[in-house]
Amino acid sequence: MMPRVVSEIEVGDASSSASVSRRFFKFSAVGAGGVIVQAAMLAALLRLTGVHYLAATALAVEAAILHNFAWHRQWTWAERRASGVLLKLLKFNATNGAVSLIGNSILMLLLVGALSLNPQVANLITIVVCSLVNFTLADRFVFV
56 — pLDDT class (breaks 50, 70, 90): very high
Instruction: Say if 100 falls within a structural domain.
Output: yes
Domain assignment present for 4: no
Number of domains comprising the chain: 1
Identify which has the larger pLDDT, 30 or 9: 30
Say how far apart CA 94 and CA 77 lie, in whole Å: 18
Instruction: Report residue 2's pLDDT band, with 50, 70 and 90 as the boundaries.
Output: very low
Q: Is 7 a residue whose pLDDT tops 80?
A: no
Lowest mean pLDDT segment, chosen from 26-30, 33-37, 83-87: 83-87
On whether residue 1 sits in a domain, the answer given is no
Domain enclosing residue 57, as ranges: 9-142
Amino acid in the structure at residue 56: A
Does any domain span residue 3?
Answer: no
| Of 16 and 122, more confident | 122
pLDDT band at 80 (very low <50, low <70, confident <90, very high): confident
| Domain-embedded: residue 74 | yes
Mean pLDDT, rounded, for 55-76: 93
pLDDT single digits (tens) 96-139: 989 987 988 899 999 999 999 999 999 888 888 888 889 999 99
Cα 69 vs. chain centroid, distance in angstroms? 9
Position 37 in a domain: yes
Residue at 2 is within a domain: no
Query: Stretch 66-85: mean pLDDT, rounded?
Result: 90
**pLDDT attached to residue 112:** 96
pLDDT more than 90, % of the chain: 62
